Amino acid sequence: MSSHEHNAAGASHGNFKQYTVGFILSVILTIIPFGMVMAGGFSRGLLVTVIAITAVA
């Protein structure tokens, strides 16, 4: 018998798929405002709004 106990009520750990989806979303949510700033031509208000929305998401 194993001396290790597994408690199902503990904190959940993500699996590989969840980490991959999270990583891809973080890259997308970083590229969007970065690309807008680098491209130029957008109003300051729009840039601030997009940066705020992608930061919260």
Q: Where in the chain are the domains?
A: 30-57
> Does the pLDDT value for residue 38 go beyond 90?
yes
Give the per-residue pLDDT at 32.
98
CA distance 7 to 42: 52
The predicted structure's pLDDT at residue 12: 74
Neighbours of 48 (CB within 10 A): 12
What's the length of the chain?
57
Average pLDDT score, the chain: 89
Residue tagged 């601030």 (tokens): 48
pLDDT at 37 over 80: yes
H-assigned helices in 1-57: 16-39, 44-56
Contact 33, 51 (CB under 8 A): yes
pTM of this prediction? Answer: 0.71
